[in-house]
Structure formats: structure tokens, C-alpha cells
Amino acid sequence: MNDNAPEQPAQGLTPGGSAAIARSGNAPAGVPVMDVDPFSDAFLTDPYPDHERMREAGPVFWIPKYAIYASARHEQVRAILNDHATYISSAGVGLADFNKETPFRPRSLILEADPPDHTRARSVLARILSPRTVMQVRATFAAEAETLLDRLVEKARSEGEIDAVKDLSEVYPLKVFPDAVGLESEGREMLLLYGNMIFNAFGPRNELLVRAAEKVKPLTQWIMDHCKREMLRPGGFGDMIYQAADAGEISLDEAPLLVRSFLSAGVDTTVNGIGNALLCLAQHPEQYARLRADPSLARPAFEEALRYESAVQTFFRTTSVDASLSGITIPAGSKVLTFLAAANRDPRQWPDPERFDIERRPSGHMAFGSGIHGCVGQVVARLEGELILAGIAKRVKSLSLAGKPTRRLNNTLRALASLPLKLETA
């Protein structure tokens, strides 16, 4: 749930366009070159070997296919994300540079904005998703988790396995968060297609984005209509956004855009965070045994899964001035790609980073970003992940793969399409 997301699907996309092909420009002198395509199917399927090569290449490197600077080490990624004045977001947090080309989609009101505009919108969402507010929905979220997991345990007993994506990691966030926002139940599955397009749009205009945009076209009107005030339950998170507009904190025109961003950012990343966590536990039975023995480890287990298999893999920034990063000068107006997932496995930051360890307590991981654009809804995401993992640990003796997991490739997300699991129940 990274801060926010663009409000409208891209229109009229084709595989061509300035963001689809290699941009002109030679490699800067003294900057290591990594001849990789971080948006290719091969890279997205298994990014970790290239992540290691990137970290070892240097603190900053050059990707010639897109003529961009990039960083994959924790120290530099964190420095970029925390220096919002030098590495701005208003030029877009994807490959497209909104200062040099006309945006093919409207900018997000907070993810792709800088202070003071960002501060105004962010303060509204941060208040709505404050720890105090989230505590008020904890009981409801917990009850929904219990009901769903009881049902899935029965399914596992009768059918032998479940699909942890279709039966669990998609179902639970699509239930509890839109409920809290105040969205009606019918048609919520459209949010998954919309979110898939949103996060694809941060990469080049490749086939992944083209296909995602085509699927979203028929759904656009539904998304827009259901972000209107009259479609939202009074007292929900969405209604609170409109109350902020009533108070003059944001405009009435901005309110539905923030609701739309709220929904797109509040579902997809949590779906993938939970799915990836279940995959990690299935692949590391000794770690699941520790969780089973002590369900209070559910929160740190989810945090470690976020570090180990970061749901959000990358985000861009743009230099507002000539910037110096680890002795390398990055000219003003340069796109800089931060590899959040690579930073999360940086051995300079984490002892034995390739080991999944639910007792690691990885404070400072980059899965939710950092700085003023850090995930505004991370409290909710953590709550959902904790409740699901704790609930499974209390019901299931062991979980294991019942088949080969399949990935759903996305330019930004580390996502699963299916995850067949066998549950040995008590």
C-alpha cells in the first residue's frame, strides 16, 4: 500500500512510445554499466541474481536500455527516498518523466506530488489511517480472518488443498479494506485488475502494461462511479475523505481521486504481501514450525516476508538539481530507479540476507518505502498480515506446496497468480 497510486488508467497505450524503447544517451563517465532490462519477463520472474550483481557493481549504476541511473544498495536507496527535495516525485515515480513529456495518465495527488501539495493530501490520509483509527477496526478485521480461515481449513480437509491466492490472499484484503472504506460488495474483483494496471504503469509501455490497460478499459466507469460520495457508506474511510473536503482540507474535486487511489493502493500490495508470506513459510517449514509454536511471531514473520520477497520491487525518482550520491554526480532532470527489493537483501545491511528468518525483526526494510512517501497504509497492511499468519498458525500443523506456484508478472509488483498449498490441520 505504497502511499498512493495514479487515479486513472492509461488511455490509448501501444507498445511504442518514448518509454517503450531505449532512450538516447551514452553511459556517464565513471559510472558502472548494467546491461539488463529490469522490466523483462526473465528479470521479473527471478530478479535476485541480477540484484546481487547490481549491488556489487557499485552504489550507483547506469542501465543503458532506458538511459537511467539506478541504485540497489540499502544505504543509497534509503538516502534517495528520504531526500524528497533532491529526488522529487512530481515528475512521476515511473519511467515516464512528466517534466519532459505529457503524462499519459493524471498524476497521483500524493505519490506523484511534492510538498506543499503532497503534505496537504497526505495529512488527510495519514489521519484516517492513524494507529488509533486502525485499532478501531482491528476486531472486525480479526473476526473476518477467523471466519475465512475456518472455512479454508474445512476446504483443505475435504479437497486436500487450497489455492492460497484465489482462496485467501485475494479474498481477505478484498473483503476487509473495501469494507472499511465503505465500498459496496458487488464488483470488488475489478479492483485487482485496476491495481495490476496501476503498478504496471510505473514501468515502460511494454506488453505487460498494454495487456493490463486493455483489461481495465471496460471497468473504468465502475471505478469512477464507486468513488463518489453517494456510493460510500457513511462513517467509512472513504466518507472521512469527503469530510476532509467539507472542512476545506482538500477540494471536492480531489476527494474522489483520493478515494480511488486509496482503493487501488490499499488492496493490491497487501494481496501480494500476504501471498508472498505464505509462499515463504511453505518453502521454509522449519520457520513455519517456529511460528506454529509461537503465533505471537506472526507480525515479525510478516515483516521478514516483506523484506525477503518485497511486494513492491522498484520505484523511480527524478533529480531536481545536480545530485551527488556516493561520490557520483547525477545531473538534474535524471531518472533514478531505486531497487527496493534488492536493498532488502543487501548484505551491508542484513546479516545472511538470503536466509528467511522470522525472528530477524528486520527494522528498516524498504518494502513500504521510506521518507515522506512511505506507505501511508502500512499500519493496515501489517494488521492484515499479522491476523492471517497468526490465524493459520493456530489452526494448521504444517503447510506445504501442493503444486508449483505461478507468478503474475508486473512491472513493479512481486505478485503470485496461484499458490497451491496443502494444509495439515489439527
The model carries a pTM of 0.92
pLDDT tens sequence across 253-307: 999 989 988 887 778 889 999 999 999 999 999 999 999 999 999 999 999 999 9
Q: Which of 4-8, 68-72, 353-357 has the lowest mean pLDDT?
A: 4-8
Residue 63 φ/ψ, nearest 5 degrees: -110, 105
Residue 400, in any domain of the structure: yes
Which residue range is the domain that position 79 belongs to? Answer: 41-425
Reported as a pLDDT band with limits 50, 70 and 90, residue 318 is very high
Reported as a pLDDT band with limits 50, 70 and 90, residue 426 is low
**pLDDT over 80 (residue 250):** yes
pLDDT tens sequence across 334-393: 999 999 999 999 999 999 999 999 999 899 999 999 998 988 888 899 999 999 999 999
- For the chain, the domain total comes to 1
pLDDT value of residue 84: 97
Mapping DSSP to helix (H, G, I), strand (E, B) and coil, where does residue 17 land? coil
Nearest to 40 by CA among 65, 9, 23, 14: 65
The DSSP secondary structure of 210-224, one letter per residue, reads HHHHHHHGGGHHHHH
Residue 131, in any domain of the structure: yes
Rounded (10°) CA dihedral 192, 49, 38, 208: -40
Residue 208, in any domain of the structure: yes
Residues 6+ apart with CB under 8 A from 173: 266, 267, 270, 271, 274, 384
Residue 19, in any domain of the structure: no
Q: Which of 15-29, 111-125, 139-153, 246-260 has the lowest mean pLDDT?
A: 15-29
Yes or no: say if 325 and 77 are a contact pair by the CB < 8 Å rule. no
Residue 15, in any domain of the structure: no
pLDDT value of residue 368: 93
CATH number at residue 72: 1.10.630.10
Residue 53, in any domain of the structure: yes
Yes or no: say if 232 and 242 are a contact pair by the CB < 8 Å rule. yes
How far is it, in rounded angstroms, from Cα 59 to Cα 121?
33
Maximum Cα interatomic distance, the chain, rounded to a whole number of Å? 63
Residue 273, in any domain of the structure: yes
Reported as a pLDDT band with limits 50, 70 and 90, residue 106 is low
Residue 416, in any domain of the structure: yes
